[in-house]
Chain A
Amino acid sequence: MKKGFLQKLYLGILLIFFYAPILILVIYSFNESKIMGQWTGFTFKWYAELLRDDNVIQALYVTVGCAVIAALVSTVVGTAAAIGIHNMRPGPRNILVNITYLPLVNPDIVTGVSLMLLFIFLNMRLGFFTMLLAHITFNIPYVIFSVMPRLQQMNPHLYEAALDLGATPLQAIRRVVIPEIMPGVVSGLIMAFTMSLDDFVISRFTSVEAQNLAMLIYSRTRTGVDPTINALSAIMFVSVITLLLIANRKSLTADSKDHH
């Protein structure tokens, strides 16, 4: 059991490393002073302020709206693309897979800059819509690469069997293929949502009119972070953690049986 203890200790230390700054942010959301790092007293006022700060609320809508739409669109397009690519001959497949890698491994700044050049060339106003297009673009590869392994694990004859049994191709995909690859689709969706939620660099280059939280925070880390932002992060953090714990409580019992 000593070995298990050391493992838990190490994972625990890393979790402290990951969560220490978050804890600091949450603590300072209750700070009387506007300046982080200077504790002057306990207050809830930043939470009240948050409701009145239009910039923050608007940025929250932009962020979540963009992340949700981008994640959904890229999941649909990406899943279809993965099925399509999976059924191609090796030649075209390799070319497509390689190009799909580009946005994943490309430095964000290059992706952002290249899209900015494109939007300016197309004379599009840099705003929510261009930001959304950019997010969908960098999300699709995450979906494709989380769906593809599932397709590879799938029995290739399942689809044909469904057709033989009289299903139309669309039915076969919906009833047979999709359920098989669902775990990959879901993790692709979550991945896409996460990437989109936290994106700063690409959004910075592709949007001006619409500001997401990351952009707002960037300008505020330069002008001094307002504790309302801390309050917002604290709320987001607590709700995410609570949801996860609730959802996980049910799956915990199933967890021991889970041998993926």
Chain B
Amino acid sequence: MKRKFLASPYIVWMMIFIVVPMLMIVYYAFTQDGSFSVENMVRAFGELPMTALWRSLYMAFISTVICIILGYPAAMCLCSKNLKRKSLILVLYMVPMWMNFLLRTYAWAVILERTGIINTFLASVGLPPQKLLYTDGAVILGMVYNFLPFMIMPIHSSLSKIDPMLIEAAEDLGANRARVFTRVTLPLSFPGIVSGITMVFMPAASTFAISQLMGNNTQQLFGEMVEQQFRTLYNYNYGSALSLVLLALMLLSMAIMRKFDKNGEGAALL
């Protein structure tokens, strides 16, 4: 028995459940009432979806940047030799994911509401109430909250793979801390950052539930548009065309990721 045949059940599975469904999206996107048409694709690149798309990308971009800024130091702390009980703390970072994200996001809404916990506290110390919920800031908070673990984990895993000898060697050669960081640690953890970005950016750009709970919903996000086509308006063709836009964006980001992660085969992901 050749070991490579162990992959055959998966290959069959993958064909049916990954490749064929993708082709179905393409098929639906380029047909209308069963015959070939570019109408839906043209519409998907129209002004309305593009406005929503830019807005989604903008929100996702800000969330991703915040996730890197918060997540990188966290991953470094988690790798620090000063830290005991590392595996426990790592697990503590994963446990929230075992509780439904919608519920946790809903709880944030309760915290941030006008009559919520923060504003009640502000009022009790005599400060005016702040509008925290129903803002873009709240939506971004929701995204950061939900996706930050997906930034910390891959960065942590790439940092923990760095041979401590390398850093010692750099220090022995006279590099100061900042230099060790910029010349050794940061470049070596780059694959982790890149997979973190892919794990955060695309989900943030396509979310629809978070914004419904945290935002004021006067502006649509791209994910909401897609969801609406499939679940409210049953326009599978136009919905597929919109999905294809997301798919194209994803392939683009995957191509970029591959460029940075040549040898990793996704190892940096976990």
Q: Of A11, A28, A136, which contacts B74 at CB under 8 A? A: A11
Is B116's CB within 8 Å of the partner chain A?
yes
Classify the secondary structure of A's interface with B: helix
Is B94's CB within 8 Å of the partner chain A?
yes
Query: Mind listing 20 A-B residue pairs with CB under 8 Å?
Result: A4-B82, A11-B77, A11-B83, A14-B74, A21-B104, A99-B14, A107-B202, A107-B206, A107-B223, A109-B246, A110-B250, A113-B226, A144-B10, A191-B270, A197-B98, A213-B100, A214-B101, A217-B100, A217-B106, A248-B85
Chain A residues lying within 8 Å of B2, measured Cβ to Cβ, are 87
Is A241's CB within 8 Å of the partner chain B?
yes
The answer on a CB contact under 8 Å between A214 and B227 is no
| Cα–Cα distance between A193 and B4 once the two chains are bound (Å) | 26
The answer on a CB contact under 8 Å between A107 and B7 is no
| Cα–Cα distance between A256 and B104 once the two chains are bound (Å) | 33
Least distance between A183 CB and chain B CB atoms (Å) = 11
The answer on a CB contact under 8 Å between A99 and B250 is no
Chain B residues lying within 8 Å of A96, measured Cβ to Cβ, are 7, 11, 14
Is B43's CB within 8 Å of the partner chain A?
no
User: Considering the complex, which residues of chain B in the window 185-206 have a beta carbon less than 8 Å from any beta carbon of chain A?
Assistant: 198-199, 202-203, 205-206
Is A46's CB within 8 Å of the partner chain B?
no
Residue interface bits A1-33, CB-to-B below 8 A is 1, else 0: 101100110110011011111101100100000
Is A252's CB within 8 Å of the partner chain B?
yes
The answer on a CB contact under 8 Å between B246 and A118 is no
| Cα–Cα distance between A149 and B145 once the two chains are bound (Å) | 29
| Cα–Cα distance between A213 and B101 once the two chains are bound (Å) | 11
Residue interface bits A197-209, CB-to-B below 8 A is 1, else 0: 1101100110000
B contact residues, total (Cβ < 8 Å): 95
The answer on a CB contact under 8 Å between B243 and A114 is yes
| Cα–Cα distance between A147 and B223 once the two chains are bound (Å) | 32
Least distance between A145 CB and chain B CB atoms (Å) = 4
The answer on a CB contact under 8 Å between A198 and B270 is no
Closest 7 A/B residue pairs (Cβ): A84-B7, A81-B10, A114-B21, A4-B82, A21-B107, A107-B206, A84-B6
The answer on a CB contact under 8 Å between A84 and B10 is yes
Is B92's CB within 8 Å of the partner chain A?
yes
Is A43's CB within 8 Å of the partner chain B?
no
The answer on a CB contact under 8 Å between A104 and B101 is no
Interface residues, chain A, CB within 8 Å of chain B?
Answer: 1, 3-4, 7-8, 10-11, 14-15, 17-22, 24-25, 28, 36-37, 77-78, 80-81, 83-88, 96-111, 113-118, 121, 133-134, 136-137, 140, 142, 144-146, 148-149, 152, 159, 169-170, 173, 187-188, 191, 194, 197-198, 200-201, 204-205, 213-214, 217-218, 221, 225, 229-230, 233, 236-237, 240-241, 244, 248, 251-252, 255-256, 258, 260
| Cα–Cα distance between A81 and B239 once the two chains are bound (Å) | 33
Least distance between B19 CB and chain A CB atoms (Å) = 7
Residue of B85, B99, B231 most packed against chain A (CB within 10 A): B99
| Cα–Cα distance between A200 and B212 once the two chains are bound (Å) | 14
| Cα–Cα distance between A107 and B226 once the two chains are bound (Å) | 11
Complex: chain B residue closest to A103, CB-CB:
B18
Q: Of A37, A121, A145, A197, which contacts B270 at CB under 8 A? A: A145
Complex: chain A residue closest to B20, CB-CB:
A118
Q: Of A37, A110, A237, which contacts B206 at CB under 8 A? A: A110
| Cα–Cα distance between A236 and B110 once the two chains are bound (Å) | 21
The answer on a CB contact under 8 Å between B4 and A84 is yes
User: Considering the complex, which residues of chain B in the window 228-265 have a beta carbon less than 8 Å from any beta carbon of chain A?
Assistant: 230-231, 236, 239-240, 243, 246-247, 250, 253-254, 257-258, 265
The answer on a CB contact under 8 Å between B13 and A10 is no
A77-B206 contact in complex given A7-B77, A11-B77, A113-B25, C-beta closer than 8 Å: no
The answer on a CB contact under 8 Å between B103 and A25 is yes
The answer on a CB contact under 8 Å between B86 and A255 is yes
Is B165's CB within 8 Å of the partner chain A?
no
Chain A residues lying within 8 Å of B223, measured Cβ to Cβ, are 107, 109
Task: Identify 13 new A-B residue pairs, CB closer than 8 A, beyond the known A22-B107, A106-B247.
Answer: A21-B107, A21-B108, A78-B10, A84-B10, A105-B198, A105-B199, A107-B223, A109-B243, A113-B243, A118-B24, A140-B14, A145-B269, A252-B88
